[in-house]
Chains A and B, each alone.
Chain A
Amino acid sequence: MFSEVLDGVFKISVRGRDKEELLEISKVMNLGLDIEEMTRIRDYFSEIGRDPYDVELYGLAQAWSEHCSYKSSKRFLRKYLLSIGEVFLREDSGLREFDSEYYYVAAMESHNHPSAVEPYGGAATGVGGIIRDVLCMGAEPIALVDVLFFGPLDEPRNSYLHAMVVKGISDYGNRVGIPTVSGSVKFHESYSDYCLVNVGCIGLVEKSNVVRSRFGSPGDVILLVGGRTGADGIMGVSFASKELSEEREKERSAVQIGDPITKEPLIHAILEVRKLISGMKDLGGGGLAVAIGEMSYSAGLGAEVHLDKVHLRQKLRPWEIWISESQERMLLSVPRENLEKVRESLDFWEIEYSEIGSVTGERKVRAYYMGEKVFEIDTDFFVGALERSRPYVIEEREEKDMGVELGDIREDLLRILASPNVSSQEKVIRQYDYDVKGNTVIKPLQGRIESPGPGDASVIKAPHSWRGIALTSDVNPYYMELNPYWGAASAAEESVRNLISVNSRPDSLLDCLNFGNPEKKERMGEFVSSLKGLRLVAMEFGTPFISGNVSFYNETKRGGVVPTPAVIGIGIVEDVRKCVTMDLKSTKSYLILIGETKREMGGSQYYILKKKKYGMVPRVNPRETKRKAETILKMMNSGLILSCHDLSEGGLGVSLCEMALAGGIGFEVKIPNSYREDYVLFSESNGRWIIEVEKKNLDVVLDKISGIDHYLIGRTKKGEKLSFISDSLDLEIDLEEVEMAWRGNLKEVM
């Protein structure tokens, strides 16, 4: 079946093989290809009249992996997410207009499997990879966002993963000098022994400097630039396209090693040469093979490369060179007349590179080793051909709310403030340099220096003007567990609400879709429901999904993770000097609740506290939310709003407490009477904000919001008391107690 034809190169006889034999080949070579895919390969080679080399089979296995090909998801992505709004360009990153001179460039990706096995390196290289995705468009990266999911921290393995992932992101992001400005850390038992690490990166590029992720013209020289190619990350994508077993946890060699200090000069060099090159792509999943294939495919061209010319860290076999996922590498196509200038820049920055081949006009990818051809496949067969139609079933969700017994509201409020998904993440946030580059005008922790609160979104000012970009992220695993459709819609809506809170106009979304095994039809059903939920909100706000990634097979021996479509929201700020934060500003102002509070308790922090996994997940009415959002933005631009905070986990009770502790100001509020007081205080209905308004502006504001749901709920006041009053409630809490609970010292308060 296998015969060595060159030193280290095998030919595999696939022609005439039956299904069992083909599967056996896939298995012994660890290709991760199923029978349908192996049959296609057999038929292709039968047609061209020869057997494949191992270099070819490994190359195909990478290009056809779920991770690289999106074979199970792309038809759904096209239908639900990629048909919303206008996107200037959607390649390794998505591009939208920032202002008349610039595009903003954004990408988001998961690095779950590697992080679950080697959390420090896995998380760090996740950051490295996403930076390269933005960089390869010719853009300067300006901010990072990370969205992390762990099991409960009282289990040692989860606590270890949490500490190491945070350290990995902090060490890499801080070293490479790109601020980590936003993100979230969520906990749910389904992530136990595992974790989801989703990272996003935003950049800016002058319109004339955009570099495409495809080859330029036939004859252009192909340069492999950056770190040396080694044995790390070999078959990383096949690894990411399977469920994680204990056996696989030993596969640490499938995790790459990152080096931010190789990356830093690489960024300088790339930004210098961007006007001289005809195409550029980051080497990610599937390594050189996939980058060459995709750059050829996108250009409708082909390539000839010489694997022996690649600069190596260690001796590798040809197939290993072809698919290694070593970090800090970029593929450039350079018109011959610019080659000297490009070399000068790379030499100045002491970046290693090799000229590995050239672009051809024929739609074929060819690779040679020591002059012998070891790979020759039609570009269109190699990448782009594969699409799978997975069966799916959407399960009916029972959402009956059996209610809870009314307990001690003061104690419940403090416990929710202290719970993992609500309490302060300051210890994590301060490990990230959110200020480097000096453009972070609205920071992740907002309000007074001595006791800042959790901001809804952060804002980065463009270095060249007063315009800015607002960033936020969201998804609630508890909603997703009960109802993927409304859970996903809630994630998109909360992202949008957060962007509004700081006075930015929602402009686009990024998606990182973390799901279980797509070969299971219930999992595939959750995937489809989630996409529909995301679409509902994005359509109304006209916010396209400009970039994203799908990560399937997030399953461990304990079962699958809850469906987790993490969303990053990107907003445009017209003038950063008009941004609004969530901390209370004045002791003589009014508090207004915008939006209707319903009894939607499914997945709420209150029900989690009461250990109830039932009830209706909050619904979304995007049209209504948009109307409210537009009114709020108008008022902000007229300077009528002192502070604004979105209502989410923990509802009205928690949001008010957060505003108070960030501002160091007390309040007295009368809560609406629509339901029992605990439901009103802790409901997590979507479409709501609290705004703070100065007395002198109250009449103007009330007039402007007369057409939308709102409740004038009370006033801020001097002193350290927070009072909640209703017909049946008279609760007064000290600000200090609230602060202590939220900062993780619950025991001292109880």
Chain B
Amino acid sequence: MERESEGSDVKACVLIIEGTNCEQETKRALDLVGISAEIVHLKQFSGRLRKRDIWDYHAIVIPGGFSAGDYVRAGAIFSSYLRTTLGREIESYIEEGRVVLGICNGFQVLVESGLLPGFNPGKPEAALSVNTRAKFECREVTLLHSSEKGRCSIDILIEKDELIRMPIAHMEGRFLAPREVLEELVSNDQVIFKYSDLQGEVKSEYPWNPNGSELNIAGICNPEGNVIGLMPHPERAVLEFQSQEWTRGGGRRDGFKLFYSLKHYLNEV
């Protein structure tokens, strides 16, 4: 594929461990918007083989998959490796204003690590639990962009209340949190995307809310807006030919907008 824009020296690291499996398309999507992406295994930040340094990257993207098999809780093992490998460094990275984006399993990792909602980094305050139907669910969903435009690093090109379509594919995507955490998320405008019906009405029933998430939450950011977690897969929505209805004249590439926003953001900071 041709790159959409050239001349950027913005670098991102697509961070994986065993069982991560969306790294290639995530790298491809980042490359497409002009962010130069490298797939890096977490152990390269600590081990002797193929050593890397997180400070060489402007953003870390944790892609989807089943890290370490997700045999404990989704994202739990990755999150614990992240702690033992990078320790406080990841928090400094975030405090410096660099971006961490978690997609699907990556979102689960960020929640398990307490980096999201991020009220008290290091302390988990929410969970992405098993879908209410207790089944893996693969489908294209409609999302309402519920926060202000530019609330976080991936929505600076997206209007408030704009409708976005992207696919989901997960077994554990049901966002749960205590009432006070939910309230704080809302009052801080940290809920970026909500599952909605095709017209943008936020409905709690299946399939519009595909997993039973509280408040229909599909994606959130931390209070500062530089750590973001999404259950849907923007990297699977960067070409119009990836969308469900493209043969009906309804081709969209909403995931592209998110990554393009990220590039704008990284160019500015």
Contacts and interface: CB of A to CB of B under 8 A. Distances in A.
Given A261-B69, A576-B241, A579-B247, A431 B22 contact: no
A325 to B, nearest CB: 21
Interface string A568-608: 00000000110111010100000000000000000000000
Nearest to A643: B247
A431 B244 contact: no
A166 B3 CA distance: 39
B207 to A, nearest CB: 8
B104 to A, nearest CB: 10
A170 interface: yes
B189 interface: no
Given A437-B24, A452-B244, A583-B248, A431 B136 contact: yes
Given A437-B25, A438-B28, A261 B169 contact: no
B242 A177 contact: no
A512 B136 CA distance: 28
Contact of A261 (B68, B242, B247): B68
Given A261-B69, A449-B140, 5 more contacts: A432-B138, A438-B22, A447-B245, A448-B245, A579-B247
Interface string A431-448: 111111111111100111
Interface in A246-260: 259-260
Nearest to A180: B138
A174 interface: yes
A175 B19 contact: yes
Interface residues of B, number: 43
A364 to B, nearest CB: 39
B86 interface: no
B166 to A, nearest CB: 10
Contacts of A580: 247
A450 B140 CA distance: 10
A463 B28 CA distance: 9
Contact of B138 (A347, A431, A463): A431
B236 interface: yes
B75 to A, nearest CB: 14
* Most chain A beta carbons < 10 A, residue from B50, B139, B236: B139
B65 interface: yes
Interface in A402-446: 429-443, 446
Nearest to A459: B241
A175 B170 CA distance: 10
B18 A435 contact: no
Contact of A436 (B22, B139, B198): B22
Given A438-B242, A452-B244, A583-B248, A176 B139 contact: no
A170 B65 CA distance: 13
A260 B136 contact: no
Contacts of A437: 22, 24-25
B72 interface: no
8 contacts: A350-B18, A431-B137, A436-B64, A437-B22, A438-B28, A440-B242, A449-B198, A576-B241
A438 B25 contact: yes
B94 to A, nearest CB: 27
A428 B64 CA distance: 22
Contacts of B245: 447-449
A446 B137 contact: no
B167 interface: yes
Given A435-B233, A579-B247, A174 B198 contact: no
Contacts of B241: 441, 461, 576-577
Nearest to B210: A430
Interface string B113-150: 00000000000000000000001111110100000000
B136 A446 contact: no
* Most chain A beta carbons < 10 A, residue from B29, B138, B139: B138
A483 B28 CA distance: 49
The range of chain A's interface size is 35 or more
Interface of A: 170, 174-177, 259-261, 264-265, 344, 347-348, 350, 429-443, 446-450, 452, 461, 463, 576-577, 579-581, 583, 585, 663
Given A348-B49, A438-B25, A174 B18 contact: no
Nearest to B247: A581
B7 to A, nearest CB: 23
A430 B18 contact: no
A435 B50 CA distance: 31
Interface of chain B: mostly helix, strand, loop or mixed: mixed
Nearest to A446: B247
B112 interface: no
B18 A261 contact: yes
A315 to B, nearest CB: 26
A93 B24 CA distance: 24
B73 to A, nearest CB: 15
B248 A447 contact: yes
A585 B21 contact: no
Nearest to A440: B242
Contact of B136 (A350, A430, A452): A430
Given A433-B138, A435-B138, A576-B241, A264 B18 contact: yes
B66 interface: yes
B50 A348 contact: yes
A189 to B, nearest CB: 27
* Most chain B beta carbons < 10 A, residue from A344, A348, A442: A348
A453 B171 CA distance: 23
Contacts of B139: 430, 449
Contacts of B29: 438
Given A435-B138, A435-B169, A449-B198, A177 B248 contact: no
Nearest to A427: B135
Contact of B65 (A177, A348, A435): A177
B138 A177 contact: no
Given A261-B19, A463-B28, A175 B66 contact: yes
B220 to A, nearest CB: 23
A161 B242 CA distance: 33
B38 interface: no
B254 interface: no
A544 B20 CA distance: 36
Contacts of B233: 435, 438
Contacts of B137: 430-431
Contact of B169 (A436, A448, A581): A436
B235 interface: yes
A340 to B, nearest CB: 14
A260 B66 CA distance: 10
A431 B135 contact: yes
Contacts of B68: 261
A585 B24 CA distance: 33
A449 B244 contact: yes
Given A265-B18, A348-B49, A174 B244 contact: no
A583 to B, nearest CB: 7
9 nearest A-B residue pairs (beta carbon):
A177-B21, A438-B25, A261-B69, A433-B169, A581-B247, A175-B66, A438-B236, A441-B241, A431-B136
Contacts of B64: 436
